[in-house]
């Protein structure tokens, strides 16, 4: 039997929690699935799976074997893609997750120039605002603000964005003319739920910087919703330039602190740590870096 096929079948059994589910996923018979797994175990002289009437689980040796088998199959697939790209041009699908506020003309122009240069690539982009798990959800790449804190991932700075503390003109009028962070005490905050410490405003850009505790009126992972709430005067919000540039220009939103220079923070491309990054993913990351995502 094809040993690589047997490895793929073993991984399918563990991912689908059983022989029958793996067979349905692979569209082969349960007997064939069992035969491939048994052949691997006979070859190794080891039991890889614990079996009972309800489910299967990996033995200690099986966990080691499957983890390494996954890496081997990923590297083989990526090697195939690399060699194919050299002869036929970069092609294939790139799945990407990014913040909601990247739905703007500047970002789309950068994507357009990339797709003109690589017409055989298809982009699958999720802007839900939710912080996705790349490995579990199958994403090739994430664009995120702030440092990467995920083990097993690589982070590369590809640009920067500026954030401002904003409010509607009517709400700011009720505040008087705040000059410093102490003048904001008691104001309601429209908080980004993606931050672990969502009820604090940090001045200076880090957890060790001076901070102000504010009551949270609303929290959401969707920055567009927070912007709309700020326009309605429901509270003050910390939002990126890309999302609120027009609102600032037409006066629908104003900076809460008149001398606010904004907080500039890096945009990172985050992707799973592997020896070989698919060339289509690497090409997109390089394109972002050369375009220098910035406003």
CATH number of the domain encompassing residue 152: 3.40.190.10
Both 166 and 155 in a single domain?
A: no
pLDDT for residue 28 is more than 50: yes
Both 241 and 277 in a single domain?
A: no
Both 124 and 248 in a single domain?
A: no
Both 7 and 73 in a single domain?
A: yes
Both 53 and 128 in a single domain?
A: no
Percent residues over pLDDT 90 in the chain: 24
pTM of the model: 0.63
User: In CATH, what number is assigned to the domain containing residue 10?
Assistant: 1.10.10.10
Structure confidence at residue 160 (pLDDT): 85
Answer with the one of 60, 86, 112 that is the final residue of a domain: 86
Both 103 and 152 in a single domain?
A: yes
Structure confidence at residue 2 (pLDDT): 83
Both 153 and 287 in a single domain?
A: yes
Both 42 and 82 in a single domain?
A: yes
Both 259 and 189 in a single domain?
A: yes
Answer with the one of 34, 55, 86 that is the final residue of a domain: 86
Structure confidence at residue 146 (pLDDT): 67
- Per residue in 102-148, pLDDT (tens digit) is 888 888 999 999 999 899 899 999 987 777 878 777 788 999 886 65
Considering its fold, how many domains does the chain have in total? 3
Both 195 and 282 in a single domain?
A: no
Boundaries of domain holding 214: 161-263
User: In CATH, what number is assigned to the domain containing residue 209?
Assistant: 3.40.190.290
Both 32 and 115 in a single domain?
A: no
Both 174 and 234 in a single domain?
A: yes
Structure confidence at residue 123 (pLDDT): 94
Report residue 171 as tokens: 């709400």
């Amino acid at each position: 039997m094809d040993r690589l096929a047997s490895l793929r079948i073993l991984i399918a059994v563990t991912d689908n929690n059983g022989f029958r589910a793996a067979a349905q996923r692979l569209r082969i018979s349960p007997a064939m699935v069992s035969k491939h797994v048994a052949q691997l175990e006979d070859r190794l002289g080891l039991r890889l799976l614990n079996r009972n009437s309800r489910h299967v689980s990996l033995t200690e040796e099986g966990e080691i074997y499957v983890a390494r088998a996954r890496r081997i199959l990923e590297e083989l697939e990526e090697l195939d893609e690399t060699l194919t790209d050299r002869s036929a041009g970069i092609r294939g699908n790139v799945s990407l997750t990014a913040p909601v506020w990247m739905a703007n003309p500047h970002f789309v122009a950068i994507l357009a120039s990339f797709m003109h240069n690589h017409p055989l690539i298809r982009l699958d982009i999720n802007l839900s605002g939710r912080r996705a798990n790349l490995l579990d959800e199958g994403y090739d790449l994430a664009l995120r603000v702030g440092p990467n804190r995920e083990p097993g991932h690589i982070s590369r700075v590809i640009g920067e964005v500026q954030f401002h503390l904003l409010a509607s003109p009517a709400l700011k009028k009720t505040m008087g003319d705040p000059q410093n962070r102490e003048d904001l005490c008691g104001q309601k905050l429209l908080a980004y739920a993606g931050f672990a410490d969502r009820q604090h405003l940090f001045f200076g850009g880090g957890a060790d910087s001076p901070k102000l505790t504010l009551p949270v009126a609303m929290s959401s992972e969707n920055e567009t919703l927070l912007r709309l709430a700020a326009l309605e005067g429901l509270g003050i919000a910390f939002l990126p330039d890309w999302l609120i540039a027009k609102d600032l220009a037409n006066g629908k939103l104003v900076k809460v602190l008149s001398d606010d220079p904004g907080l500039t923070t890096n945009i990172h491309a985050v992707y799973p740590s592997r020896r070989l990054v698919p060339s289509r993913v690497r090409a997109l990351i390089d394109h972002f870096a050369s375009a220098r995502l910035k406003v």
